[in-house]
């Protein structure tokens, strides 16, 4: 009888090896290996379709417009039916709120939507849907079965054509055939892989919620991002109601598009005029405040950048930035002193993009110079 064997799996990239080492040879990370026990299993006989030529392949589906304008914009004019998506964000940012609204809008179109409640009771989901005006819809179903095999078996009894499956969250899924507790690398990788394969075979649109690490990176093995078609990041500041939806991967659209929302008691509301929203209440007579222009996808955006400089008593001045790349700030300040003769070497410099935005457009450089001077 074959014995169980121990494998060491990198928590960052998913690389497996038989012995523990301090550094992962695949991604270069340190202290990332986690021991997992793997039991031998008999190979299952799989019936797979033969390869087919591209010419008779099915035509591309038309995009599904959800009715949430900023969400559709971020994806590139709507959801591609049969796509697998992951949406991540810090706790309390509004991931469940957004997906409840999506489920409600899709079910109102007569499309079957199944919402897996892995982190809350169905009564909580029903209460939230009722508050948003989506209660009592026969096409809006919920489930609490986080055992992957039982979940997929129960879904086989439903008409899967044009179905949308929402998993909240992937860290709650588990399979009896995999070692480790729910949320472990082995469980997350195996369950997500099985979900994606199942959804692709049946043209089911799949939306999966993912937790984030303290660095706001998607928690779990990196292979999850490769398995899915779209990776969305939900960003925002807990001190205001402004939310940003950003795509770091999109096989069906541009990753530079963003969606802008306002969190209200009735849910997330698309911001049709983001420039007016960001500049609302701005005072123009304050030193260090500059209005900048940035291109976010195909949309020009006006926002406010604020800077503060103060003479420091230390040999190494502090440079701090929120919403703007800190390394780029250091480079801009060095150019200002070396080429423009602006003495910033003995000053602490603080730069903030107001509204919780994170801008990567290099057109912001001139606004930084103007605000600092």
Burial pattern 91-107, b for ≥16 Cβ within 10 A else e, equals: eebbbbbbbbbbbbbbb
76 closest CA partner among 269, 336, 308, 256: 256
Among all chains, which residue has been given the structure tokens 């439903």? 158
Distance from the Cα of residue 145 to its chain's centroid: 24
Region 132-136: what's the mean pLDDT? Answer: 81
pLDDT at 251: 93
8 Å CB contact between 207 and 67? no
Q: Report how far apart, in Å, the C-alpha atoms of 134 and of each of 87, 109, 123 are.
A: 21, 12, 14
Burial class (CB in 10 A: 0-12, 13-18, 19+), 176: exposed
Q: What is the pTM of this model?
A: 0.79
Question: Cα separation of 150 and 172, whole Å?
Answer: 14
Paired tokens of 58: 């099915």
Task: Assign 43 a pLDDT band (cuts: 50, 70, 90).
Answer: very low
Q: Which CATH number fits the domain 279-372, given the four candidates 3.30.230.10, 3.30.1490.20, 3.20.20.210, 3.30.70.270?
A: 3.30.230.10
Question: Cα separation of 272 and 252, whole Å?
Answer: 23
How many alpha carbons lie under 13 Å from residue 87 in its C-beta half-sphere?
26
Question: What are the residues whose beta carbons fall under 8 Å from the beta carbon of 356, sequence distance 6 or more?
Answer: 235, 236, 237, 240, 242, 244, 323
Paired tokens of 43: 């190979």
205 closest CA partner among 68, 58, 99: 99
Question: Cα separation of 202 and 196, whole Å?
Answer: 10
pLDDT, one tens digit per residue, over 284-317 is 778 899 999 998 878 889 999 999 999 988 888 9
Question: Cα separation of 9 and 18, whole Å?
Answer: 9
CATH class, domain 69-272, is alpha beta
pLDDT at 272 over 90: no
Domain ranges of the chain: 5-38, 69-272, 279-372
Paired tokens of 333: 């300040």
pLDDT at 333 over 60: yes
Q: How many residues are present in the chain? A: 373
Task: Assign 44 a pLDDT band (cuts: 50, 70, 90).
Answer: very low
pLDDT at 1: 46
26 closest CA partner among 36, 18, 16: 16
């Amino acid at each position: 009888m074959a014995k169980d064997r121990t494998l060491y799996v990198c928590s960052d990239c998913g690389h497996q090896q038989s012995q523990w080492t301090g550094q992962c040879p695949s991604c270069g990370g340190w202290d990332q290996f986690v021991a997992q026990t793997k039991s031998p299993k008999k190979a299952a006989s799989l019936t797979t379709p033969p390869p087919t030529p591209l010419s008779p392949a099915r035509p591309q589906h038309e995009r599904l417009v959800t009715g949430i304008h900023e969400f559709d914009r971020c994806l590139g004019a709507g959801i591609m039916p049969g796509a697998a998506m992951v949406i991540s964000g810090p706790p309390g940012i509004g991931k469940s709120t957004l997906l409840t609204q999506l489920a409600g809008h899709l079910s109102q179109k007569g499309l079957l939507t199944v919402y897996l409640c892995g982190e809350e009771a169905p009564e909580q989901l029903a209460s939230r849907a009722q508050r948003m005006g989506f209660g009592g819809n026969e096409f809006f179903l919920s489930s609490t079965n986080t055992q992957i095999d039982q979940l997929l078996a129960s879904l086989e009894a439903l008409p899967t054509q044009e179905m949308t499956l929402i998993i909240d969250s992937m860290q709650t899924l588990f399979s009896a055939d995999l070692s480790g507790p729910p949320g472990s690398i082995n469980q997350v990788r195996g369950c997500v892989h099985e979900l994606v394969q199942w959804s692709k075979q049946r043209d089911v649109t799949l939306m999966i919620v993912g937790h984030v690490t303290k660095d706001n990176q998607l928690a779990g093995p990196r292979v999850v991002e490769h398995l899915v078609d779209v990776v969305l990041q939900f960003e925002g500041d807990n001190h205001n109601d402004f939310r940003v939806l950003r795509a770091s991967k999109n096989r069906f659209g541009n990753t530079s598009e963003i969606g802008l929302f306002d969190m209200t008691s009735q849910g997330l509301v698309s911001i049709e005029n983001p420039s007016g929203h960001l500049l609302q209440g701005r005072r123009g007579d304050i030193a260090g405040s500059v209005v900048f222009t940035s291109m976010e996808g195909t949309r020009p955006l006006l926002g406010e950048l604020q800077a503060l400089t103060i003479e420091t008593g230390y040999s190494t001045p502090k440079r701090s930035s929120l919403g703007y790349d800190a390394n780029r700030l250091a480079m801009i300040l060095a150019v200002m002193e070396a080429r423009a003769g602006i003495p910033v070497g003995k000053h602490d410099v603080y730069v903030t993009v107001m509204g919780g935005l994170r801008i990567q457009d290099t057109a912001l450089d001139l606004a930084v110079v103007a605000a600092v001077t």
